[in-house]
Structure 1
Amino acid sequence: MRRALLIALASVGLMAAEPAAAPDRPLADARQEARAQRLFDGIRCVVCQHESIADSPAGIAGDMRRLVREEIDAGQSDQAIRDDLVRRYGDFVLFRPPVRAGTWLLWFGPLTLVLLAGGGLMVLARRRRPETLPLSPDEERRLAELLRDEAVCPDPDATMPNDRQQAGPFN
């Protein structure tokens, strides 16, 4: 019983795995294949997202490589091939998406965040702390009364900041 359950679980795990990509078949013309390789480097794998389709082992990357080769073999221009991929997968598929209204955040968002953070840091650096005014004679008298009171005991080991101690090796 347990053995059958383990076999069933293992087979479900194998069925859930992505099928292996079909092996690449380079184009017969070396110039066309070199063109395809240049295109592969500028196209992002939609599964891996950080790799080009040239470097990705994902099955979809293999399909995308095959599609690019088919379109090159059919005589499509590089721009037509990129446009077809953008139509299918969106601007995200290109490592260098075009600058247009839909991609402004992608292009200028990081720069805007850096400028805003720098501006905020400059504002914080220029902000002056309020100066502490000296105590008035009335406040001095009230403080002296509070310190004489038995409820407030000053620390006998504490010294006033302006008191000079004996010069030691670290002073």
Structure 2
Amino acid sequence: MKRLLAATALALSLLAPAAHAVQPDEILPDPTLEARARALSQNLRCLVCRNENIDDSNAPLARDLRILLRERLTAGDTDDQAVAYLVDRYGEYVLLKPTTHGANLILWIAGPAMLIAGIGIAVYANSRRYRRVALPPSPEVLSEQEKKRLDELMQQ
């Protein structure tokens, strides 16, 4: 009975939704601004955690980022201005989805380019290997005397 109760408690704890790290004192009184802040914070990376957004992180720096974002929105910044402020302050690493221009363009293109180059090198190396395989020697042309002898042997 104890095992069943423990298994049930474990299953329920695994099925429970993840608790968000946003503290009650951070929540803005204006529901529209709070919704904007939540939407923006889903795309901002916690600089302490690995690939976790600031909305879900319990790190003190993530809390500071959430508060700073809400301050910028309360001050009247647009969504783009608020995110740009955080990017200017902390760098593009703060974005969970990095931009595809500037120096990042090289990183976005490098992976597919290297894949295509690798496939090209493999195809070239394989074609060279197959060209090096020795072909069977071509049959030499028989002389008239050999042809006569072959015909005699075939008739027997």
Which TM-score applies when normalising by structure 2? 0.64
Partner residue, 2:133: 131
Cα distance in 1 between the residues matched to 2:99 and 2:122: 32
Tell me which amino acid in the other structure corresponds to 2:133: E
Greater helix percent: which structure? 2
Tell me which amino acid in the other structure corresponds to 2:70: R
Cα distance in 1 between the residues matched to 2:54 and 2:99: 19
| Local SS of the residue matching 1:128 | helix
The answer on 1:51 being equivalent to 2:52 is: yes
Cα distance in 2 between the residues matched to 1:83 and 1:77: 10
Tell me which amino acid in the other structure corresponds to 2:68: L
Cα distance in 1 between the residues matched to 2:28 and 2:52: 22
Please list every run of at least 4 consecutive aligned residues from structure 1 whose deviation after the TM superposition is greater than 3 angstroms.
Answer: 21-24
Shift of residue 133, structure 1, vs aligned partner = 6.9
Tell me which amino acid in the other structure corresponds to 1:115: I
Q: CA RMSD in A?
A: 2.3
Gaps of 5+ in 1: 1-20, 135-171
Shift of residue 29, structure 1, vs aligned partner = 1.0
Which TM-score applies when normalising by structure 1? 0.59
Cα distance in 1 between the residues matched to 2:111 and 2:50: 19
